[in-house]
Chain A
């Protein structure tokens, strides 16, 4: 059936949890592209045949006309599916640009296609360049602040650092009060956790 593979491709994306990526399906993707090429060959041969017979494709509605139409529609549908697959994955990749720094964790990186990795890099740079134009870091402060200080536990040895209001020795398992804005970068890197309650 025409368009079946493209449908599977989109289905695969919608079945994955939102915001999560499954591995890029190279195989199926290539098959859909092959489908498209096949459609266009058949479409062209039908159009040629119609031309040779001298029938006008605006007025003549014969089997060839509808055949050509079917191939065109199948092609367009495949294209929509391919684009939807790519675009929706690209949106997830976009979101990664907000939460991870320029280097992707391995477990995410291996799920991306080559072009997607490129896209992540270039889009992250675009985002970073906006932030440096404005001299404002938009990657912190994701939740509305309640208290300027939060209680955190250090999960990984960080060492002596100068924070905005104090210099602190962040040894492993130390529990301390830090400025929320200072702590956020470490929390997003997984080096600290916030203690609540």
Chain B
């Protein structure tokens, strides 16, 4: 049950991060990834090693609990361990579930955006491919095949459209609540043209447009809550 060192979320920034790094457990990391995923309008990078580690830990804990039960350990201790397992399991399930639901919602958009597509795990890509097939088949059969020739695409309104104008996209300019993990100076949070940069200190909480802080969430400098 080593504390996690996830290179994806914790940047190479500085040595003073080291302290927080070694005191952060995988459970914390999972909780953070889960919260970020839950609050962000678009799908984020899949935390494959974190998920892998969490599953191994859960298995280990389950074995421990079983051992305890066989040795007639205090029921309270057993139940506390069990509770811990249940909570971690919930986080993990919920994390995976939210991602699948995002894929369900934005499948066509994710498929044609290479940057998003590579964020999915192998199994999620498989899921997305099959979901797309299912949905296409369904739409083809019920609507598109009955429409006139030049209007049959599921991505474009008609052959005249230059871009794919029938694809659901996540609303990147939605507001999210975020908390910074360290000092971030001069954030360009406003695209109204006015120069109005924002200084965020560690622990500050702001409601900002997701679009404007997207890179900071992706590099792990900012958490969504």
Contact assessment for A118 and B138 in the assembled complex, using a CB-CB cutoff below 8 Å:
yes
| Also in contact, A37 and B93, with CB within 8 A (given A122-B134, A130-B123, A134-B123) | no
Q: Is the CB of A119 within 8 A of B135?
A: yes
B141 to A, closest residue via Cβ: A115
Given contacts A123-B131, A138-B100, A140-B93, A40 and B148 within 8 Å (CB-CB)? yes
Within 112-144 of A, Cβ neighbours of B (below 8 Å) are at 113, 115-116, 118-119, 122-123, 126-127, 129-130, 133-134, 136-138, 140-141, 144
**Contact A148-B79, Cβ < 8 Å, known A37-B148, A136-B96, A140-B93:** yes
> B94 — which chain A residues lie within 8 A by C-beta?
141, 144
Q: Are B148 and A36 in contact (CB under 8 A)?
A: yes
B residues 74-105 in Cβ contact with A at 8 Å: 79, 82-83, 86-87, 89-90, 92-94, 96-97, 100, 104-105
Q: Which residues of A contact B151 (CB under 8 A)?
A: 36, 40, 75-76, 79
Most buried by A among B55, B130, B143, B166: B143
Query: Any chain A CB within 8 A of the CB of B184?
Result: no
Closest 4 A/B residue pairs (Cβ): A40-B148, A119-B138, A126-B130, A115-B142
Encoded as 1 (CB less than 8 Å from any B CB) or 0, chain A from 11 to 51 comes to 00000000000000000000001001101100000000000
A24 to chain B, nearest CB (A): 9
Interface SS of A by simple majority: helix
A-B contact pairs, 21 of them (CB 8 A): A36-B148, A75-B148, A76-B157, A79-B143, A79-B147, A79-B157, A82-B143, A83-B139, A86-B143, A90-B139, A98-B97, A116-B138, A119-B137, A119-B138, A123-B135, A130-B123, A130-B127, A134-B123, A138-B93, A144-B87, A145-B87
Closest residue of chain B to A149 (Cβ to Cβ) is B79
Q: How far is the CA of A72 from the CA of B97 in the complex (A)?
A: 41
B146 neighbours in A (Cβ, 8 Å): 33, 36
Interface range for A: 35 or more
Contact of A141 among B83, B90, B131 (CB under 8 A): B90
Are B143 and A94 in contact, CB atoms less than 8 angstroms apart?
no
Residue positions of A touching B, CB distance < 8 A: 33, 36-37, 39-40, 72, 75-76, 79-80, 82-83, 86-87, 90-91, 94, 98, 113, 115-116, 118-119, 122-123, 126-127, 129-130, 133-134, 136-138, 140-141, 144-145, 147-149, 165, 180-181
Taking a contact as CB atoms closer than 8 A, the residue among B89, B131, B133, B158 that contacts A72 in the complex is B158
Instruction: Report if B182 contacts A (CB, 8 A).
Output: no
Tell me the bound Cα distance from A119 to B130 in angstroms.
Answer: 11
Bound Cα distance A148, B220 (Å): 33
Known: A36-B146, A129-B126. 10 other contacts (CB 8 A): A33-B146, A76-B158, A79-B158, A119-B137, A126-B131, A130-B126, A144-B90, A145-B87, A148-B82, A148-B86
> In the assembled complex, which residues on chain A have CB atoms less than 8 Å from the CB atom of B55?
136
B130 proximity list for chain A (CB < 8 A): 122, 126, 129
Question: When each residue 128-162 of chain B gets 1 if its CB lies under 8 Å from chain A and 0 otherwise, what string results?
Answer: 00110111011101110011100100100110100
By the criterion CB–CB under 8 Å, are A83 and B143 in contact? yes
Given the known interface contacts A33-B146, A141-B93, A147-B83, the answer about A133 and B123 at a Cβ–Cβ threshold of 8 Å is: yes
Which residues does chain B contribute within 8 Å of A87, judged by CB atoms?
139
Taken together as a complex, chains A and B put the C-alpha atoms of A136 and B105 apart, in Å, by 22
Residues of B within 8 Å of A118, CB to CB, are 137-138, 141
- Closest Cβ–Cβ distance, residue B96 to chain A (whole Å): 6
Distance between Cα atoms of A79 and B139 in the complex (Å)? 11
| A122→B137 CA distance, assembly (Å) | 10
Across the interface, B104 reaches (CB within 8 A) one of A72, A76, A94, A147, namely A94
